[in-house]
Amino acid sequence: MSDRRPLIAGNWKMNCLRDDGLALASGLASKLSGASERPECDILLCPPATLLADVVGVLGHCDIHAGGQDCHFDKSGAHTGDIAASMLADIGASHVILGHSERRADHGESSTIIRQKTIAAHNAGLTAVVCVGETEQERDLGAAIAVVCGQMDVSLPEDATAENTVIAYEPVWAIGTGRTAAVADVEEMHAAIRRKLKERFADGDAFRILYGGSVKPSNAAELLAVENVDGALVGGASLKVEDFWGIVSACK
Ligand code: PEP
């Protein structure tokens, strides 16, 4: 048993208007306050930027963290539509997701940019949830581990520690598709990520490595039991209180 406390993170993506988002956050806060035992994991909600301040308000002092889904690498300036890491921290965020495959694809984000964003997040006092993952074609070519390790080499700055950085392994072909990676493949990839972390960082054994890709209540326990899987990054199933709580409850 590792002593890494699991993290279950919900990525709401571009979903939820105000009423739905606040109902979701308050539903989860009620689940937590009504639970007979404290869940065996940390919980993080990453709503759209428009709802972040309100979600922080709804969560109040309950032990659920809130985070952004992206930030810019500059501290401030002429970047229309972007959000600085310090702005997320300023409204009460503790984390920020960086390098999600949807941002890599939709916004052309390279691992070099993600590294700069990760440094900006750290400088603002945020924990960066850095996403890596291979495409289906890369897996079919037998290149999955090389691709993910290459993304880690560039995306993770030297100042990364287990305190300020979480890795999320998300095979691109498993995101939002209902397909999950085979347990043996998850185990192999997380072991490779752990080796990489230990090679590069003194506290590499303490980093949390999340799995993401169609995690739901019915498969969460099996995935969370895999060695070196220290939690989950959850998209679709984070949009329903019962589903997300089911995943939280699968942490034993
Ligand atoms: C995600 O968006 O990071 C994700 C894993 O989505 P889903 O759970 O819907 O596959």
Q: Please list every protein residue whose CB sits less than 6 Å from any atom of ligand 1.
A: 11, 13, 170, 175-176, 212-215, 233-237
Rounded to 10°, the helix 241-249/18-34 angle is 40
| Secondary structure (3-state) at 115 | helix
Q: Whose CA is nearest to atom 8 of ligand 1?
A: 235
Q: Fill in the amino acid letter for 80.
A: T
Residue in 14, 96, 166, 234 to alter for ligand 1 test, most ligand atoms within 8 A of Cβ = 234
Give the Cβ contact number of residue 225 at 10 Å: 11
pLDDT value of residue 2: 67
The per-residue b/e assignment along 157-184, b for 16 or more CB within 10 angstroms, e otherwise, is: beebebebbbbbbbbbbbbeeeebbeee
For 31-54, how does the pLDDT look when each residue is reduced to its tens digit (9 = 90+)? 999 998 889 999 999 999 999 999
pLDDT at 1: 43
Q: How many CA atoms lie within 13 A of 136 on its CB side?
A: 7
- Determine which one of 72, 100, 122, 190 is catalytic: 100
Per the annotation, the verdict on 170 as an active-site residue is yes
Binding residues for substrate are 11-13, 176, 214, 235-236
- In this predicted structure, what is the pLDDT of residue 3? 85
For the chain, the maximum distance between any two Cα atoms, rounded to a whole number of angstroms, is 49
Measured by CA distance, the residue closest to atom 7 of ligand 1 is 235
| Mutational test site, ligand 1, from 170, 218, 238, max ligand atoms within 8 Å of CB | 170
> Which alpha helices (DSSP H) does 73-216 contain, by range?
85-90, 101-106, 111-123, 136-140, 144-155, 183-200
Phi then psi for residue 126, to 5 deg, are -95, 150
Q: Are 91 and 53 in contact (CB under 8 A)?
A: yes
Ligand 1 centroid–CA 12 distance in Å is: 9
Residues 6 or more apart whose CB falls under 8 angstroms from that of 28 comprise: 43, 45, 64, 241, 244, 245
Give tens-digit pLDDT for 115-163.
999 999 999 999 999 999 999 999 999 999 999 999 999 999 999 999 9
Residue ranges for the binding site? 11-13, 176, 214, 235-236
In the block, tokens 């993770």 appear at: 156
**How far, in Å, CA of 138 to CA of 134, rounded?**
6
pLDDT of res. 122: 98
ipTM confidence score: 0.97
Q: What is the 3-state secondary structure (H, E, C) of 145-175?
A: HHHHHHHHHHHCCCCCCCCCEEEEECCHHHC
Q: Which two tokens stand for residue 170?
A: 């998300």
Q: From the CA of 180, how far away is ligand 1's center (Å)?
A: 10
Distance CA 235, CA 9 (A): 9
The CATH architecture one would assign to domain 7-249 is: Alpha-Beta Barrel (3.20)
Residues of the chain with pLDDT under 70: 1-2
